[in-house]
Structure 1
Amino acid sequence: MEEEAMITDFHTATFDTPEQREAVSQLPNIERQRLIEHVLVTYPQFNKLVEFIGKYHYPVVGGSHGRGSVGGLIGKTRVGKSDIIKFYCNKFPAYDVDDGVVMPIVYIPVPPDIVPQRFAEIVYGMTGPGSAPKIKIPSLMGKSVERIVRVRAELVVIDDTQFLFQAPKNHVREFYGFLKQLADTESCNILFVGEESVILSVLALGPLAERGGFPKKELKPFDRDTEFDQFRLMLHEIDLRLPFAELSGLATRYFATELHDVTGGAMGKVMKNLVRPAAFHALNDGSPRILRHHFYEEAALRQRPGDTRVYFASGEE
């Protein structure tokens, strides 16, 4: 079913011994690629934000889920918000009942250049079979709300919410109508996941901010001055999960410094922009680990205009 798209099969196991590392290095490349793509390491800030979402979802231990509030998980692009959300969503999969399907969490990813018809199609796709009808937009927004209520959602997570508020004004009006209608049902809480601009957008739309006062938490990159040791520990934990015969030494001061300088300490960028493509490069080379030149070549491909520094140019191999 479509709703399974929100469930991510994260790879969290470590390969701690030479025997384990040798065994995983002998797997077919397609299996090793899948492991690299789904590596997940939790860390203190990650865990605190999962806890925040849990308390927002269920404000009372042993009680029922929250209803009618609008909250936020805020952070810059590629800082790692989506992994936190998907990790939490994994705890609450959909399940069948006699009269249909119950989806405790409805996850709605918002692409750039979103329009109301496409938004409704995404809502329909994430709430089970059936396609969004071609009807007038206000009615379509109402039908989309009904879909969410029908699956007995407890929490609706809207990922990359900033794209809703950056749309043309006539579209924003329709999205606001959807959000207000959903909040008015008092059937679930709504969690906006997005960039800092979401805060101002919500505050500008008074009735949304008044729905619980917009409780929010921010996910920040690892600070270079105060959290570098934590950053290195994270890199070591990633290294333990990579399907290579040898450790790549990601946590060495050289690699850690270069990785932080390129990404600003944002874990989403570390994995998606550097570690993952460098690991794929190493797979293709038949290398026993990620080598410096793999990072050097992948960083060069992603060099930002105006940045003249050459990353991973020399050092440990």
Structure 2
Amino acid sequence: MQENISSTDRAIYSSMDIEKRREIVRDIRIYHPRVQKGLDIIRTCHQSLSSATGLQCAIIEGQSGVGKSELISAYLRENSQIIYVGDSTKRTILHAEIFSPANITSFMEDLLGQLGDYNPSSGTRGNKNTRLVNLIRDCGVELIILDEFQHFKNQKNKSVNYEVADYFKSIINLTKVPVVLFGYEKEAYDVVKENNQLQSRFTIRYNLHPFGLENEERIHEFRTLLYQIDQQLPFVESSNLADPEFYNRLFDVTNGVLRALMKLIGQAAEIAMEKEHLKITFEDFKEALILHNCIGNGLNPFVA
């Protein structure tokens, strides 16, 4: 592990009020290599129309809590622009979440609403489709990001809603805008796989796996993540989260799932700040896990 930031740099936290320190914890940003690869894939699609390959689309999948939503947010923070020109609005990225059960009408109305249509529910299906295609063009949309794409699959009988999938394919063909899909592991790709024309469009597939401890490389990756988090925690002393006594326990509890890990560390940080600890301690993690007792398998590895 790299050396910790100096005690001089950390000394500022001794006089910082707790609300500011809470804000720092909430705003922790982690860009580990797999998140960076995801960002690179989105950027490749975004810039594809000006590349030698032409229009590129991708699907990014993973189990719940691995960081898909955080990946979307990170890319939107860096690249999304909304520009108001007179009575018109320019929007570089169209981002929407697909709700279950998905149908053509709700899908169109949600995208129309995202693009500022005054009455998304008005008009026939054909009229809504025309307005949507025109708005995507008129707003200067350069990239479409759709989350929860597995909702194009019926969750009761696991069949793909071909009507919605075919309509989505036609939107890509009509607008020539690159698309990045996000969804639950395997289920989201099933929608693409069962539609030949969609499959030919989505030739980039990336799985955002949880962290693991299967080998030295994976251990190093997880410890590096914990080190990066530790460096951003607003405490006078380093909590040494990447040390063996901590990282093994944190993995045992969270199975390497980022959302669970950040929730546990955030709660432990809150407890440590309220108790005016100089760093997060074993006791703080023990109390955090007692509160969040649905994380992990019910055992508390921080109990002595």
Letter in 2 for 1:239: D
The aligned runs of 1:210-229 (5 Å cut-off) are 210-211=200-201, 213-226=202-215, 227-229=218-220
Partner residue in 2 for 1:292: 282
Partner of 1:290, secondary structure, is coil
Instruction: Say if 1:225 and 1:277 are closer, same or farther in 2 by CA, change over 3 A.
Output: same
Gaps of 5+ in 2: none
Instruction: Please tell me whether residue 83 in structure 1 is matched to residue 70 in structure 2.
Output: yes
Give the C-alpha shift of residue 178 in structure 1. Answer: 4.4
Larger Rg: 2
The aligned runs of 1:252-267 (5 Å cut-off) are 252-267=243-258
Partner residue in 2 for 1:251: 242
Deviations 1:218-238 (A, max 9, x none): 111222122112211210110
Instruction: Please tell me whether residue 164 in structure 1 is matched to residue 149 in structure 2.
Output: no
Letter in 2 for 1:151: C
Partner residue in 1 for 2:171: 182
Instruction: Say if 1:305 and 1:113 are closer, same or farther in 2 by CA, change over 3 A.
Output: farther
Asked whether the equivalents of residues 138 and 174 of structure 1 are also in contact (C-alpha less than 8 Å), the reply is: no
Partner residue in 2 for 1:127: 115
Partner residue in 2 for 1:51: 40
Distance 2:6 2:99 in 1: 42
Instruction: Say if 1:101 and 1:253 are closer, same or farther in 2 by CA, change over 3 A.
Output: same
Partner residue in 1 for 2:269: 279
User: Percent identity, aligned pairs only?
Assistant: 22
Letter in 2 for 1:216: R
Letter in 2 for 1:104: T
Distance 2:161 2:12 in 1: 52
Partner residue in 2 for 1:191: 180
Which of 214, 222, 234 aligns to 1:231? It is 222
Asked whether the equivalents of residues 99 and 148 of structure 2 are also in contact (C-alpha less than 8 Å), the reply is: yes
Letter in 2 for 1:199: Y
Provide the TM-score with structure 2 as the length reference: 0.82
Instruction: Say if 1:232 and 1:132 are closer, same or farther in 2 by CA, change over 3 A.
Output: same
The aligned runs of 1:9-28 (5 Å cut-off) are 16-28=5-17
Q: Once structures 1 and 2 are overlaid, which stretch shifts more, 156-165 or 301-310? A: 301-310
Asked whether the equivalents of residues 65 and 154 of structure 1 are also in contact (C-alpha less than 8 Å), the reply is: no
Provide the TM-score with structure 1 as the length reference: 0.79
Partner of 1:185, secondary structure, is helix
Partner residue in 1 for 2:95: 107
Give the C-alpha shift of residue 64 in structure 1. Answer: 8.7
Instruction: Say if 1:305 and 1:236 are closer, same or farther in 2 by CA, change over 3 A.
Output: closer
Deviations 1:203-259 (A, max 9, x none): 113332132x43211111222122112211210110110122222221121211111
Deviations 1:134-185 (A, max 9, x none): 4455644554444333311111111222233246799945643541232122
Gaps of 5+ in 1: 1-14
Distance 2:268 2:253 in 1: 14
Partner of 1:90, secondary structure, is helix
Give the C-alpha shift of residue 263 in structure 1. Answer: 1.7
Asked whether the equivalents of residues 114 and 167 of structure 1 are also in contact (C-alpha less than 8 Å), the reply is: no
Give the C-alpha shift of residue 301 in structure 1. Answer: 3.5
Distance 2:13 2:67 in 1: 26
Distance 1:114 1:35 in 2: 37
Deviations 1:82-118 (A, max 9, x none): 2222222223231426463322222213455566665
Partner residue in 2 for 1:9: none
Instruction: Please tell me whether residue 153 in structure 1 is matched to residue 141 in structure 2.
Output: yes
Distance 2:225 2:154 in 1: 34
